[in-house]
Amino acid sequence: MLTITLKPGKEKSLLRRHPWVFPTAIERVDGKRDELNKPGATAVVKAADGRFLARAAFSPASQIRARVWTFDENEPVDHGMIKRRVQKALAYRQAVVRDSDAIRLIFGEADGFPGLVVDWYGGPSGQLVCQFQSAGVEAWKQPIVQALIAATGCPNVYERSDAAVREREGLPQVTGVLAGAEPGDETLVTENGVRYAINVKTGHKTGFYVDQRDNRKLVMDHAAGRDVLNCFCYTGGFSLAALKGGAAHVTSVDSAGEALALAQRNQALNDFAPERAEWWDDDVFKLLRHLRDEGRTYDMIILDPPKFAASPQQVERAARAYKDINLIGLQLLRENGLLFTYSCSGAISADLFQKIIAGAASDAKVDARILKRLSAGADHPMCTNFPEGEYLKGLMLMR
């Protein structure tokens, strides 16, 4: 087994149980040549004085050189560990998720699987979709798949390991069937009484934004009688929730024609009257200005853009983009109207996001009151020792 010895003083983050080890903290790596070049090999991490700190997955190509599996010296990294952690993750989801068969079953470090995301759609006869985003979980792929099938009773497992982070781990992007049947073009899920058709093979992430479940319910609960504008609507998650909640009319905007087509399919799937919704294929930034120039206003506006900052180097540019859309969004909002605004950029902290929105309100010359701070659902738990796991943040505001 590999041994990673840290430089003096560099053990502090591991003693605080932070699960990442960076190259600058490492004094040396000892082991056989084949292990040194093997992504995902298990390594013992030791302090400079020889103390055991953790067992971790070694990734020679990554800037996160090792990701911790366990801080317990008596816990081996083996098939038993994989099974126990999958079963624990499932038991937790069964306790906290209600009124939905679209579930985040594994959420990376929070469930003891660094770099792994697993979403479960449609129950035992449905579809498991996995993203193996680090060398460690890639090395344990087959045992993980077997454990998922055994725990859930769902035989169909599809891989969507097509995120750019794979390349930073020295791994190729891959997709395809890992077990069971090839998924069709539509997988049906139900969430809070709304039916959604999703495409797990070509859709964003694993096909659906599971993380926004609780926030879609919040929109549903406040939509009755309102004229709603949903920007960056994708396949209509928030739009359909608003229609289910009794919105008078919903205008939805996205620049992806295929996503809009599926959104309209979802509208029909739920028997929502065609005249209650419009689907616009347009650039949100340009459209918001056009709507403002026309003097249009709305009772509820939803701003859920894609990730604007993929790294800390992009934060300044992303902050300008967030401020831009929120400034105009607040100007388009009627008195006592509601704005639901989000950032899924991990590099944008919750505090910074609130400051951006405050600046937007100030420049828009409106008074905006924060009614609720928003985040991902309970099936996306955040470890206290791993704040990097908190990527989705949002605010519910009233003008």
What integer pLDDT is reported at residue 194 of this predicted model?
Answer: 97
pLDDT tens-digit map of 238-254: 999 999 999 999 999 99
Of 179, 197, 225, which closes a domain?
Answer: 179
Examine residue 192 and state whether it is found in any structural domain, yes or no: no
Give 165 or 228, the one with higher predicted confidence.
228
Q: Report the C-alpha gap between 170 and 351 in whole angstroms.
A: 33
Whether 312 shows a pLDDT value over 90: the answer reads no
Phi, psi of 292 (to 5 degrees): -65, -40
Number of independent structural domains in the chain: 3
- 168 shares its domain with 54: no
CB atoms within 10 A of CB 369: 9
Examine residue 347 and state whether it is found in any structural domain, yes or no: yes
Residue 84 belongs to domain with CATH number: 3.30.750.80
In this prediction the pTM is: 0.93
Cα–Cα nearest to 272, from 298, 301, 300, 242: 242
The answer to whether 346 touches 312, Cβ cutoff 8 Å, is no
Per-residue pLDDT band for 34 (boundaries 50, 70, 90) equals: confident
Per-residue pLDDT band for 306 (boundaries 50, 70, 90) equals: confident
- 244 shares its domain with 387: yes
Q: E strands of the chain, at which residues?
A: 2-6, 20-21, 26-30, 41-46, 52-58, 66-70, 102-107, 116-121, 127-132, 157-161, 174-179, 187-191, 194-198, 227-231, 249-254, 277-281, 298-303, 333-343, 369-375, 393-398
Which residues belong to the active site? 344
Cα–Cα nearest to 146, from 182, 108, 180, 122: 180
Q: Report the C-alpha gap between 192 and 250 in whole angstroms.
A: 18
Q: Give 4's strand partners.
A: 29, 45
pLDDT tens-digit map of 253-270: 999 888 999 999 999 999
- Domain encompassing residue 329: 209-398
Examine residue 24 and state whether it is found in any structural domain, yes or no: yes
DSSP-based three-state secondary structure for 379: coil
Q: What is the separation, in whole angstroms, between the first and last Cα of the chain?
A: 59
What integer pLDDT is reported at residue 124 of this predicted model?
Answer: 94
Of 70, 105, 128, which closes a domain?
Answer: 70
- 255 shares its domain with 338: yes
The DSSP code for 273 is -
- 88 shares its domain with 65: no
Q: Report the C-alpha gap between 248 and 315 in whole angstroms.
A: 37
Examine residue 270 and state whether it is found in any structural domain, yes or no: yes
Per-residue pLDDT band for 49 (boundaries 50, 70, 90) equals: very high
Examine residue 198 and state whether it is found in any structural domain, yes or no: no
Examine residue 384 and state whether it is found in any structural domain, yes or no: yes
Whether 308 shows a pLDDT value over 90: the answer reads no
- 394 shares its domain with 277: yes
Residue 23 belongs to domain with CATH number: 2.30.130.10
Q: Report the C-alpha gap between 256 and 239 in whole angstroms.
A: 15
Contacts of 191 (CB under 8 A, 6+ apart): 99, 100, 101, 102, 213, 216
Whether 313 shows a pLDDT value over 90: the answer reads no
